[in-house]
Every structure is written in structure tokens, then in C-alpha cells.
Amino acid sequence: MAENHTVEQHSLPPNPEKATLEGKNKYMGFWFFLGGEVVLFASLFGTYLGLRNSTAGGPGPSDLFHLDLVFIMTMLLLTSSLTSVFAIISMKRGNYKGLLAWMWVTVLLGLGFLGFEIYEFWDYTVNYELGFTTSAFSSAFYTLVGTHGAHVTFGIGWIIVLLIRYAKTGLTLTNAPKFYTATLYWHFIDVVWVFIFTVVYLMGIGG
Amino acid sequence: MSYAEAQKKSVLWDWLTTVDHKKIGIMYLAAGAFFFTIGGIMALLMRAQLMFPNSSLIPAQTFNEILTMHGTIMIFLAAMPLLFGFMNYIVPLQIGARDVAFPFLNSLGFWLFLFGGIFVNLSWFLGGAPDAGWTSYVPLASHYSGIGLDFFVLGLQISGLGTLIGGINFLVTIINMRAPGMSMMRMPLFTWNTFVASILILFAFPALTVGYLLLMMDRIFGSNFFVVEMGGNVVIWQHLFWIFGHPEVYILALPAFGIFSEIIPTFSKKRIFGYTAMVFATMLIGFYGFMVWAHHMFTVGLGPVANSVFAIATMAIAVPTGIKIFNWLLTMWGGRIKMTTAMLCAAMFIPTFVMGGVTGVMLAVSAADYQFHDTYFVVAHFHYVIVGATVLGLFGGAFYWWPRMFGYTLNEKLGKAFIILFLIGFHLTFFVQHFLGLYGMPRRVASYLPGQGWDGMNLVSSSGAIFMAAGFLLFIINIFVSMKNKETTGDPWDGRTLEWTIPSPTPEYNFAQTPLVRDYDAFWYEKYQGDGKIKAAEPLGDIHMPNGSILPIIISFGLFVMAFGLVYHTWIVAGAGLLIVFGAMFVRSVKEDHGYHIPVEEITKDKGGK
């Protein structure tokens, strides 16, 4: 049963995120949710693969993509996943300040990624005249990468809300599952990006 | 909130904010029955129009809208919510739980479904209902249809989100909330079928969401997914739709199989034959459900190899389904069968569904499918499957669980009259449609010319529909006439599973003490190996309950507002709707809510009054 007491370090269960039934339910429910998200992104990937050569005379993948920009974005997002792991390690060691600090770093890296993505979209729209309605390829590209970007945005908002709400409470059996599921979500976003990097950008330039 | 405050809520506020799985289940049933009635009236209108050739009772455009909405309503807004109603009410009781894993999300799922369903139906009053068929193939749905399709796409995305949430909730409930001793292989088969159907929901609905998302992008934001001259591809829609659409058939059928697997052992006084085989057959059907979607697309031109693979995979589904059929038959074999209305539904389901299965294997022969495709043969096939399994399952489940849910037993004489009338009507309506299809009558036509050999059979078909409607009326009458048949024992059928161990009416905390399960058919085991009472796994104590919340309605309303904004391209309204959604989610996230406790004195008082 979730009680709103700060868990002292000596009484902290080894896995505070799964110590209560509510926590266990959230943990498992979130994994199932991510399973559904996999199908969502798989459908978008399938659509993109079917339409990636349908440029209708507009610019195509090899005209647009710059691997240097995508490389920086990939590094930012991969590192943010790593820092969220550090946050969870801090949480399991009972170091609440460490948890908060690493989560803030994760948020900053995520914001950096998002900034580059917005720049990328702006660049394509203005300098390459690739609008959302230019071709079937452009629609599929913006929808797939944009859906990922929307997930990043939501994740950043979610983690910031948690960080501000729980800035002074210390670790409790109520907020541990919340932080934990947020990092699960963040890793998932990262994994999706790895596929976008491969399927959209690398295959766009090389394949 | 304290216990005293929780008791003080007005009835209306209590139902609007409830997170109790039993009340949510009843709301699902009520809303589903409402939509079922509307969908049924549409069916009657269609059959009235097709009763005679060259009929001009209903204009062709209206006919298209009615046929689209009949399919959409019956699948998404009637059959699924009605099944969700039973799942919600019964599954926690069958596994000995006090509630589902996520009571708040459970309520959110219901309100999303309801607001989404209402949104789709608002199209009737705001410029015409969708008219591209429930499959809404593009480009018909993207470029040749009016504003109704916008309502369709947005409303079904909202209600689909609710379904997805419900599916996840059932999965976690069944895995995490089982009572001590209730191992997976001791779970009642209705719970097992709910579990597998929930897996199907989880992996099938996102594909539909993406399909609707792309269609929405094309219609509202001018993208080119399905615009061929801009490089779009219309077959992508068909793939996405059927990757969802075929599992959907099993999402509808499996819970009904589960209901029959409860009814048949109860009224045969025998343990289900081949429990393990039933469980694995359910999983196999769930697995195959994802492997066969392209059999809906045989005539698209995917090529002989793809067609052959999907044809063989489709025929393979007959094997696990056949296992189930024989297990039901062998459960009845040598049993002391009591032909109640519920049992009558189950017994009649078997031949009806087998006929649908046989035509299913016929349709799976991809070469022959070129002849059957888009004719009334297909219409006959899927009505035999869906009415045969899902609708009979729902009626059977209603008669079986009614005393559990509403505290009174439905009248058996009226019930039998209803089900016989309904079945006669059903076979009259749909049996002849097989032959109409073989004689070449295409589905979805608003009218037809005389002298093609279709006139007589259409007349028969339409007459049958009247019997079905009359039967359904008897069912509705039964609900009101039977209210005086109070059921106070809690176990009217000499039941086998945990839901019959609790007093009637069901207390809000379900089980005063969490039950201890010692075998499959836990209650039956205690009746014949124990003292007839289920053992308790915990001492009597205060019971923790979740607080009610109005936020699910606010979130659903926010999406409703947002959908309006999108349909009318009013981005401020859409943004405001989204703000409401995120605002409510924010409140939910930052406001910790630990529920309240029902004091132990209240529970002993209930037990004493039993």
C-alpha cells in the first residue's frame, strides 16, 4: 500500500519502483504500453519504407540528409539515455539528489536533440522546399520523424513535471515508479531513434 | 477522501466519477446496448430497402451512410463495449481481485469510448454520416467522401485509445491481481480468453490508429499518403486496416468463446473437457490472428505466392478452432445438461458458428475467393461468425451473469422464446445470403434490378430481420418484467467459479477476504472436496479502495473538443481541447491520491446482513 512517507535510506527496498502493488502494476502496464507503441512505430516505418522513393519530383532523401547533423542528434539522444540510467542507479543507491541531477541532465540533452530536430525541419522546409504536402515521401518522413519528435517533447514535459513536483519530497514508494517508468519511456524513444537513424537516414543516403 | 465522504456522494456524481470495475462494466453494457439498438435499427432499414427490387424507400446516399454506420457501430461501439462490460465486471471476480490494476484508467477507457462513439454519431446531424463502408478504403474515403469521414476518423481514434487502455488494464490485472493459489493454469477460461483478446487489442489497435492518423493527415492536413499522383499508395491503407482488422475478428470472438466455456460446464455439471488444450487453442488462435490479414486482400494482386501463404495460414486457424468445438461438445457429452436460456445460446452457437467457419475456409481458398469477393457470400459468412459467436455469446453471458450483476434472474420462458425467435430470424436472414452471393449479388448495393433470381431470397432475408427484431424486443421486455425475480443466494446456477462465492448484490469491495484458490473450478472444488465455502487467504481487516475521479471525463471531453477543432479546421479550438487534455493529465500526475479505507466494522455488518 502506498504511503506518502519518505523512505529512509536504511529502510529502502532494493527495487523501490516495484515494491508496492501499484508500482508493480505501473511497471508492467508500462511495458505493455511500450509493446503497443512498437506496433505504432512499426506501422509508421512500414509506411515510410513503402513511400520513401515516392518523391513526386520533389527533393528526396539523398538531396536532404546531412549525416553530421544526424550524428550530433544521435549522440545527444544516446547520451541522454545513458544519463537516465545513471539517474536510476542513483535512485537504487538511495541518492535522491543524484537522481534529480541526472534527470535534469537527461532533460537538457533531450532539449538539445529537439532543438536540432526543429532546425532540421526548418532547414528542409525553407532551404529545400520540402513541405509536409510536397510528396508522399515528405508526408511519410515528417509523420514518422515528427511522431518521434512529439514523443520526445512529451517525455521532456513529463520528466520536468516530475522533477519540479518531487524536487523536495525525497524518494517515496509513490514517486519511485513514476521516475522509473519515465526512464523506460525515454529508453524506448532512444531505441526508436536508432531505427530512424538506420532506416531513414543511413538507408536514405546509402541505400 | 474518507469512507464517510465516499458514502455521501450523490448517485449521479458517484456514477460519473466511479472507478469501480463493476459500475464501469455496467456503464459499458448500457452504452453498448444503446449503440446495439441503433445499429440494429439501421440493419432493419437496410433490409426494408432491399426487400423488393428497384425500391426507393431510402436514397442511395443515405443507404451508404447507414451501411457504413451499421458496421462501424456494431463492431466498435456495440460488440466491443458489450464484451468489455462483461470483462470488466466478471474478470476481477473470477480471479479473486478487489478491482482492476488501474481503476482510474479503466474509467478513462470507458469515457474515451463513449465520447468517441458520440462524436462519430454527431456526423448524422452535422453534414452527413460517413459513407465509405466500415473498412473505409481509400481513395473513396480520402477524396470522394464528405465531412462524415472526418468525424469517423477522429471519433474512432478517440474510442480506439479507450480500447487500447482497457486492453492494457486487463493484461496487468490478470497477471498481477490474481488471488493466492490462482495460478495461470487454474484461471477460468473466460479470463483466459480475455487475456489473449487483450494481447490482440494491444498489438492490433495501434496499427488502426496509424491508419486513421494517415487518413486524417490526408483529409485535414493535405498530406499525400494515399494520393497516387503525388506518389502515394492506396494499398498501404488496406494493409494497415487489415493488420488491425483480422485480429479484431478474434478480439470479438475469443471473449465469446470464453463465455461459452463458462456456460457449458456449468449447465452440463461437468468440468470443461480438455482445459489445457482450450488454453493453447486460444493462444494459437490469437497468434494466427496476426498472420492472415492479407486474406482480405486476395483480389488486390499481391501475387500467387503471397496469396497461397495467406490462404494456407488462414485454413490452419480451423485447427485450433476445431479443437475448441470438439472440447465443448465433449464437455456436454454425458453431462447432466440443463437447457437454460444461457445453455441454449451456447448449444445453438456451435452449429451456427461452425457454418460460419466452413464458409470461412471456403473464402480462404484464394482462387475461389475471386468469385466470392465483395458478394453477399461474404456478408453471410461474417454474420454467421459474428452473430453466431459474439452476439449469441453476449446474450448467453447476459442470461448467465445477469443475477450476479443486477441481483435478479431473467425470466426463462421469455428468454427461450426470445432466443428461438432470434435464431429463426437470424438463419432466415443470413442463410439465403450465401446463395445470393453465389448468384452474383454484390454487397453494399443500395438497390437491384428484378429478374436476376435475387428477388425471392431478398424477400426471405428481409422477413427474417423482422423476427430478429421481435426477438430482441422480447429480450428488452424480459429485462423489465423480471425485475421482481430477486436473486439473494449469490449462486443461482450452482456455479463453479469464484464469482458465485460472493453475496448478492455484489459488495463494492467484492471479497470481504481475499479467497484462497485450491484447484481449477475453485468453488466446485470446495463444494465437493471442502465444506462448500471458499477458504480465506487473509484475516478480516480494513479494505483499501481507490478514490473516484472526474478527470477521465475531462480528458475525454478535451479530446472531443480537439476533434471538433480539427474537423472544422479551427486550430484554436483544437489547441484548447489539447490543453484541457494535458491540463487534466497534469493534475492527475501531480496530485497524489492514496484512496481510502472501508473500516472492518462495515464489512462485518455486510456479512451479518447476508
Q: Which among B171, B227, B589 is the nearest to A161, CB-wise?
A: B589
Cis peptide upstream of residue B505 (ω within 30 degrees of 0): yes
Closest CA to B428 of B369, B470, B375: B470
Query: In which residue are the cell numbers 470479438 written?
Result: B252
CB-count burial class (<10 Å; 0-12, 13-18, 19+) for B185 = exposed
Looking at residue B594, what is its pLDDT?
86
> Residues A61, A204: contact at Cβ < 8 Å?
yes
| A46/B239 Cβ within 8 A | yes
Is the Cβ–Cβ distance between B465 and B425 less than 8 Å? yes
**Which amino acid appears at position B141 of this protein?**
A
The whole-number pLDDT of residue A207 equals: 63
Give pLDDT, residue B607: 64
- Cβ proximity of B145 and B130 under 8 Å: yes
Q: With 70 as the cut, is the pLDDT of residue A7 above it?
A: no
Q: Three-state DSSP class for A172?
A: strand
Between the alpha carbon of residue B494 and those of residues B237, B530, B531, the distances in Å are: 50, 15, 15
Tens-digit pLDDT profile for residues B489-539: 889 999 999 999 999 889 999 999 999 999 999 999 999 999 989 999 999
Number of structural domains (chain B) is 1
What pTM did the predictor assign?
A: 0.95
Check if CATH label 3.40.50.1980 holds for domain A20-25+62-206: no
Read off the pLDDT of residues A106-129 as tens digits, 9 standing for 90 and up.
999 999 999 999 999 999 999 999
Give the cell for residue B526. 470446495
pLDDT in the model for residue A206:
81
In this predicted structure, what is the pLDDT of residue A16?
A: 87
Is B537 a domain residue?
Answer: yes
Specify which residues B543 forms β-bridges with.
B598
Q: Please tell me which residue of chain A has the smallest CA distance to B587.
A: A161
Q: What is the 3-state secondary structure (H, E, C) of A47-106?
A: HHHHHCCCCCCCCCHHHHCCHHHHHHHHHHHHHHHHHHHHHHHHHHCCCHHHHHHHHHHH
Low-confidence ranges of chain B (pLDDT < 50): 608-610
Q: How many CB atoms lie under 10 A from the CB of residue B431? A: 16
Q: With beta carbons under 8 A apart, name residues in chain A contacting B177.
A: 25
B15-20 contacts, C-beta under 8 A, 24 or more apart? B16/B550, B16/B553, B17/B107, B17/B548, B17/B549, B17/B550, B17/B553, B18/B107, B18/B548, B19/B99, B19/B103, B19/B104, B19/B106, B19/B107, B19/B546, B19/B547, B19/B548, B19/B549, B20/B99, B20/B103, B20/B508
Contacts of A29 in chain B (CB under 8 A): 101-102, 105, 168-169, 171-172
The shortest CB-CB distance from A50 to any of B164, B213, B233 is to B233
Measure the CA–CA gap between B39 and B134, rounded to whole angstroms: 13
Q: Is the pLDDT of residue A3 over 60?
A: no
CA separation, residue A52 to residues A20, A45, A140, A193, B300 (Å): 47, 10, 7, 17, 22
Q: Which residue of A has its CA nearest to B209?
A: A40
Residue B544 DSSP SS3: strand
Residue ranges of domains in chain A: 20-25+62-206
Closest CA to B569 of B265, B150, B171: B150
Vertex B388 angle, CA B173 and B311, to 5° = 85
CA atoms of B395 and B94, how far apart (whole Å): 19
Pairwise CA distance, residues A3 & A19, whole Å? 12
Tell me the three cell numbers of residue A132.
Answer: 509536409
Contact: B172, A158; criterion CB under 8 Å: no
* CATH, residue B215: 1.20.210.10
Nearest to B590 among A47, A136, A161 (CB): A161
Torsion of CA A188, A103, B161, B97, to 10 degrees: 100
How many Cβ contacts (< 8 angstroms) between chains A and B? 123
Grid cell 494482386 — which residue?
Answer: B301
**Type of residue numbered B29:** L
Distance between CA atoms of residues B16 and A181, nearest Å: 29
Identify the residue among B210, B212, B248, B594 best suited for mutation to test binding to A, counting A beta carbons within 10 A and taking the highest.
B210
Domain containing B38 equals 3-549+593-608
Whether B516 is in a domain gets the answer yes
Nearest CA in chain A to B174: A25
Residues 6 or more apart whose CB falls under 8 angstroms from that of A182 comprise A103, A155, A158, A159, A162
Q: Which residues of A touch B (CB under 8 A)?
A: 1-4, 21, 24-25, 28-29, 32-33, 35-37, 39-40, 43-44, 46-47, 50-51, 53-56, 132-140, 143, 157-158, 161-162, 165, 174, 178
Q: For residues B546 and B572, is the Cβ–Cβ distance under 8 A? A: no
Out of B176, B218, B544, name the one closest to residue A1 (CB): B544
Quick check: A39 and B203 CB within 8 A? yes
SS3 readout for B297-353: HHHHCCCHHHHHHHHHHHHHCHHHHHHHHHHHHHHHCCCCCCCCHHHHHHHHHHHHH
Provide the CB-side half-sphere exposure for B163 (13 A, CA): 34
Q: Do B586 and A161 touch (CB under 8 A)?
A: yes
Per-residue pLDDT at B609? 42
